[in-house]
Amino acid sequence: MSHRHHRVLSVASECAPLVKTGGLADVVGALPAALARLGWQSRILMPAYPGILEQVDRSEEAWRDDDLFGGPAVVRSGTCQGLDLLLLDAPHLFDRPGGPYTVDGHDHPDNPVRFAALSWVGAQLAMHGTVDRWRPDLVHVHDWQSGLVPSYLKYAGSEVPTLLTIHNIAFQGLFGPDQLDDLHLPTWDFHPEALEYHGLVSTLKAGMVHASRVTTVSPTYAEELTTPEFGFGLEGVARMRGDRGEMLGILNGIDTRIWDPAADPAVLPYSVENPRAKAENRRALLDEFSLEEPVGPLAVVVTRLTHQKGVDLLLETLPGFIEAGGAVVVLGSGDPAYEHGLGELASRFPRSVGVRIGYDEPLSHRMYAGGDLVLVPSRFEPCGLTQLYGLRYGAVPVVAATGGLRDTVVDATPANLADGTATGFTFGDSRQGGSIDAGGLSFALGRAIDMYADRESWLRLRETAMREPVDWGTSAGRYAELFAELVR
C-alpha cells in the first residue's frame, strides 16, 4: 500500500462555515479535520451559491462542462478555513436569490435538476478526477441532495466505492419519472427495487439502494429507520441494507475548535474547571432580551420551527414552566403558525420569554453559553447537535428519548445521579412505554426545576454534562474504519 493519504470526495449541499441551514453543514464542515488525523484527505464538492466564491482563497478551475443540465458549469477549487473545496459554479442552477433549497418559503421548482447536477458532477470527478489529477478513492454522499452519485457511478460501470450518510430520512428528493431522461437516469431502473418510490423518483432511496454502504447519524436512529413510524416509507430498504450488515449508525460529533466556551469569540470565556463566567453569560442573555432574573432555570431553544422539532409541545408546556419559575429564550424560524405562537407567548410573558425569529449564528452561541437548559423535544431526531452544544456549554439538555438524543443524553434518574453518569433529562422513551408528548415534556421540565433548586446537585449534573466527550474523536475513527474497509 502506498504511503500517500487516502482520498475522499464528500459531496454535499451545505458546509459550515460557508453555508448552513442545519446539522448537515456542521457535520460536512467538521469531518475533514477529524479524518485528516486518521490519514484521509478530504475535498468537498458543493454548489457555488451566491457569495460563496468570494469567501474562498485561490480559486482555480478544476473541471468544466459547457452543458451541465442546460447551462455552462465550472468547478473551482479553493480553500476556506482549512477546508479543501470544489465549488460547482453553474449560474443557471445556483446563482439566484433565496437559500440553498427555498426562496420566500417555497422550494426552488427545479431542485431535482439542481441537485441531480451536483450529483452528476460528483460522479464525473470520482471517475475522471480534476484537472490537477486529484481522484478520490471513495465518495461520501449526504442525504437526498447528493443521493444520486452512487446511481450515476453504477450506471457508468464505475467501481469507486460510495458511502451514503442519511442525516434525515424525512426529506427524500422526489420528482416525477418524466424527468428521468433529462437527468441522465435510465428508465429501465425505474421500479420499486431501485429508483421508484410510489410512482415518483426518490434520490434518497436511489442512494440507499446503490451506495456501497449506508450510515445514519446515530445508532438508535439506525434502528428506528427500519420501522414504519420513523422510516417514512423507506423502512423496507433500510431493513434490507441493515439485515445484510450494510447499514449502521455512527454518532455525530461537534467541532470543538468552533464550539469551545473557553475560546468562543461570541461569549465570555469559561470552562468546566473555571465556570464562573457562565453566570455572566446568563446575565447578558437575560439583559439582551430584557428578561427578569428568574427564580428557576433559564431555558434556551435553537431550532428550525417545525413539527419534527416538537415546537407545538413547547407552546403547550412553556406557560407552566414559566409559572413554575422558569424563563426561556427561543431562536428559530420556520412554520409561520409556530412563529406566531411564540410571538404570542412572548407578549403574554414579556419578562420571562424572549423570542428571536430568524437565523443568527452568534446569538445561538450566546444562548448555549447563557442557558441553564437547552430544550429539544423532537418527535424524531437523527442525531441532533443542539443537545451536544448544550452539553459542551453547560446548558443541561432536556430531550425526547429518540434517535441521537437518546444516544447522547443520560437521564438524571436516582441511579444515574448516584453513579455520576447523568447529563440531562429525557422523556417519552417508547421502549419504556413512554410517548413524546406535552405531558412527558412537562414532567421532565418539572424535574429540571426541582434539581435546579438544589444547587449542589445541579452543579454536579452540569459539570458531568460539560465533561461529556462530544468531539469527533471516536466517531471519525469509525468512519475511517468503514472507509478503509470499502477501499480494500
**Contacts to ligand ADP by CB under 6 A:** 22-24, 26, 302-304, 331-333, 359-361, 364, 383-386
Residue 394 CA to residue 370 CA, distance in Å, equals: 9
Count of beta carbons in the 10 Å neighbourhood of residue 181: 10
Cβ neighbour number for residue 408 with a 10 Å cutoff: 26
Q: Which is nearer to ligand ADP, 84 or 339 (CB)?
A: 339
Calpha distance 29→15 (Å, rounded): 5
| Residue with the shortest CB distance to ligand ADP | 23
Nearer to ligand ADP, 130 or 364 (CB): 364
d(CA 75, CA 269): 40
CA pair distance 234, 237, nearest whole angstrom: 6
How many residues comprise the chain? 488
Task: Name beta bridge partners: 166.
Answer: 216
State the greatest distance between any 2 C-alpha atoms of the chain, in Å, as a whole number: 67
**CB-CB neighbours of 348 under 10 Å:** 12
Cα separation, 364 vs 367, in Å, equals 5
Question: 138 or 398, CB closer to ligand ADP?
Answer: 398
Q: Report the residue number, 107 or 361, with the smaller CB distance to ligand ADP.
A: 361
Nearest CB to ligand ADP, comparing residues 22 and 275: 22
Q: In angstroms, what is the minimal distance from the CB of 285 to ligand ADP? A: 14
> Please, what is the minimum distance in Å from the beta carbon of residue 403 to ligand ADP?
10
Cβ distance 122 to 154 under 8 Å? no
CA–CA dist 438, 454 (Å, integer)? 25
Q: Are strands 138-142 and 162-166 parallel, antiparallel or unpaired?
A: parallel
Tell me the closest approach of the beta carbon of residue 20 to ligand ADP, in angstroms.
Answer: 7
**Least distance in Å: CB of 123 to ligand ADP?**
26
CB of 333 to ligand ADP, least distance (A): 6
- The Cα angle at residue 87 between residues 86 and 93, in degrees rounded to 5: 145
CB of 235 to ligand ADP, least distance (A): 20
Of the two residues 310 and 332, which places its CB atom closer to ligand ADP in the complex? 332
Q: How far is the CB of 224 from ligand ADP (least distance, A)?
A: 15
Measured from the CB atom, is 154 or 379 closer to ligand ADP?
379
